[in-house]
Amino acid sequence: MDNLDTLFKRISHGVYVIGVTDGTVQHAFTAAWVMQVSFKPPLLALSINPAHYSYQLLQAGGVCTVNVLGLGQYALAAHFGRSGKDKMAVGEWQQSPNGAPWLSESLAYFDCKVSHYTDAGDHKIAVCQVLSATHLRPGQPLLYADMGDADGSSGLY
């Protein structure tokens, strides 16, 4: 088999910051494994490592935002792609009606409610209903393939 890390990066993904809350704590993490999976109802699926602190909050709160990063927002992607409980000091955050934080600097954001989870190997798939979608500014999306090895994934196969 050829190099999976290189070839998986040929499958196009954007880069997103996922805002989560348990109803008290606001937090966020970077994700590339995000996709639309239904028209009616509109559903997005996120693949999340259950070891992440963000997963605890997502499970507890059952809500999230999917914030679309634009070209040039590499530093934001890298910042939220690290663990640490003080990450929300970076970025301008507001609160959606369901309580999840959304990022003003993003191109657009989706306000979501978790519908259900499915197991996927070492990750969980959170299938999320889109409650609202908001365009914030024009721009081209940041692509996962342009992030190099910012997520350290080359060592994980």
Q: Does 53 bind ligand FMN (CB under 6 A)?
A: yes
Q: Between residue 112 and residue 151, which ones bind ligand FMN under the rule CB under 6 A?
A: 144, 147, 150-151
What is the rounded end-to-end Cα distance, in angstroms, of the chain?
12
CA 76/CA 29 separation, integer angstroms: 10
User: Please, are residues 87 and 78 in contact by the beta-carbon 8 Å criterion?
Assistant: no
Nearer to ligand FMN, 50 or 97 (CB): 50
Task: Check residue 131 and give left, alpha or beta (phi > 0: left; psi -120 to 50: alpha).
Answer: alpha
Cα(57)–Cα(53) distance, integer angstroms: 7
Residues in the chain: 157
What residues does 67 pair with on adjacent strands?
A: 17, 109
Which token pair is 128?
């999320």
Q: Which of residues 27-46 bind ligand FMN (CB under 6 A)?
A: 29-33
Q: Which stretch binds ligand FMN (CB under 6 A): 49-57, 91-99, 106-114, 130-138?
A: 49-57
- Phi, psi (deg, nearest 5) at residue 32: -110, -25
Taking CB under 6 A as the criterion, which residues in 73-112 touch ligand FMN? Answer: 77-78, 81-83
Output 131 or 143, the one with its CB closest to ligand FMN. Answer: 143
Q: How far is the CB of 98 from ligand FMN (least distance, A)?
A: 19
Minimum distance, C-beta of residue 75 to ligand FMN, in the bound complex (Å): 11
Size of the site for ligand FMN (CB under 6 A): 21
Site residues for ligand FMN per CB under 6 A: 15, 29-33, 47-49, 52-54, 77-78, 81-83, 144, 147, 150-151
